[in-house]
Amino acid sequence: MPENWKTYKLSEVAAISNGKSKPNETGEVPIYGGNGILGYTNQFNSVDTIIIIGRVGAYCGSVYFENRPIWLSDNAMKAVCLEGFDSKFLFYLLKKTNLNQFAGGSSQPLLTQSTLNEVNLNFPEIEEQKAIASILSALDDKIELNLQQNKTLEEMAMTLYKHWFVDFGPFQDSEFVESELGMIPKDWEVKNLSEISTELRRGVSPKYIEEKGVRVINQKCIRNHLIDFSLTRRHDSISKSVEGRLLRVGDVLVNSTGVGTLGRLAPILSLDEDTVVDSHVTVVRCDLEKLRLYTFGRLMISIEKIVESLGEGSTGQTELSRIALGEIKVIVAPLTIQDKIEDQLQRFANKVDANILENQALTTLRDTLLPKLISGEIRVKDAEKLIHESI
């Protein structure tokens, strides 16, 4: 520990108190529990800048930061910093500390105020606390900005797609004809999904290894129309070949088993190495003679609710069959019409992908700096230099 740092008990740094049972009324005030926001109400029981700490169960020891009015539920505690200590620094310090190690309880983990109050923590002077918190907050803020931008880009892309290919906005003065899906512009067609796809198949049954091998996307990776490659695993392609199974940019991946996960889908925006999916995910690859790549991705997202409704089987064993997926009927515009917005849809996708890649780099940098800054192993000026060289 650096010479100018001191050790304090948490009770000397912050006032800790429990939350209360959440109210039934609905509103716009966030209700926080040990696993983040649980819902919203019209009441609040905290208006301070606080650190929220999960106190019981699977999320015991989880840590969140808030500086707006909230309702703190009874499965969480709050820590309010005392004078001379910075709230954001304490937040990062507690995240790094792994508070779950102090939990007791035989049936499930439980953190108490008395236990937390005795936890020893190391602090520099307040100025350095603020400087360290500022560095880490700047990285977190940029990550959050990129996430919000991606949400906006997703909304813009879907709004554009629906205006053209669902609401037929630019074609209201055109001739319409009757189809299986209602009135559509003349020369447009209704096709089964299988008719506009060159591949519609499940993935491999992987033989997992710890290092090297081929990257495998599983159902956990697919959420919010994006793919989280940090959750992938590795397949031993030597013992079991994946020839003909590698994914391509533009493939749409569909979760195909389980209640709550079945039907979630995401297009692949970029690939930096050989990748496959496991047997719980279906790959849908568009026929480029019938659909443009990014228009196809939007089309698939537009039918997500239909896909979710196609699960068959008992609860917990629900499956999405390739036949049922392939029989979904969709409206297909002529390629000349698709070409009018394909470039714009691609620009949206490219920007989303760029933000994802930047967030991966920022997250790695933050996670590298966090324990070193919080422990004093690296000082503020050195961290600022590292950030400047890395970004």
Does 314 score more than 80 pLDDT? Answer: no
- What distance in Å separates the CA atoms of residue 63 and residue 31, rounded to the nearest whole number? 15
Confidence grade of residue 316 (pLDDT, cut at 50, 70, 90): low
- pLDDT of residue 386 exceeding 90, the answer is no
For the cut 90, the answer to whether the pLDDT of residue 108 exceeds it is no
Q: Domains of the chain, with CATH numbers? A: 6-123 (3.90.220.20), 126-172+342-391 (1.10.287), 189-332 (3.90.220.20)
Can you spell out the DSSP letters for 174-194?
Answer: S-EEEETTEEEETT-EEEEGG
The pLDDT of residue 24 is 85
Confidence of residue 74 (pLDDT cuts 50, 70, 90): very high
Residue with tokens 């918190």: 133
Helix 87-97 × helix 126-165 angle, to 10°: 80
Whole-number pLDDT of residue 389: 79
Average pLDDT score over residue span 322-331:
97
Give the residues across from 209 on adjacent strands.
234
Model pLDDT for residues 245-294, shown as the tens digit of each residue? 999 999 999 999 988 899 999 999 999 999 999 999 999 999 999 999 99
What's the pLDDT band for 214 if we cut at 50, 70, 90?
very high
Average pLDDT over residues 89-100: 94
Fill in the amino acid letter for 194.
S
Structure tokens at 27: 């509103």
- Of 107-116, 265-274, 288-297, 347-356, least confident by mean pLDDT is 107-116
CA dist 292 → 300, 307, 342 (Å)? 12, 21, 7
Predicted local distance difference test score (pLDDT) of residue 2:
81
**C-beta separation of 231 from 306 below 8 A:** no
Cβ atoms 298, 157 nearer than 8 A:
yes
pLDDT band at 315 (very low <50, low <70, confident <90, very high): low
Quick one: pLDDT at residue 260? 82
pLDDT surpasses 80 at 1: no
Cα 199 versus chain centre, distance = 27
User: Across the chain, which distance is largest between two alpha carbons, in Å?
Assistant: 80
pLDDT band at 4 (very low <50, low <70, confident <90, very high): confident
Given a cut of 90, whether residue 83 has pLDDT beyond it is: yes
Q: What percent of the chain has pLDDT over 70?
A: 99
In this prediction, residues 350-375 reach a mean pLDDT of: 94
* Segment 238-255, tens digit of pLDDT: 888 999 999 999 999 999
pLDDT digits (tens, 9 = 90+) for 136-156: 999 999 999 999 999 999 999
Residue 272: helix, strand or coil by DSSP? coil
What number is the average pLDDT over the span 60-88? Answer: 95
Helix axes 126-165, 380-390, angle to 10 degrees: 30
Which pair of tokens denotes residue 388?
Answer: 């400047």
**Closest C-alpha to 144, from 362, 386, 348:** 362
Displacement of CA 81 from its chain's centroid (Å): 30
Q: Please give the torsion angle defined by the CA atoms of residues 177, 178, 180 and 181, in that order, rounded to the nearest 10 degrees.
A: 70
Tell me which of 105 and 387 has the higher pLDDT: 387
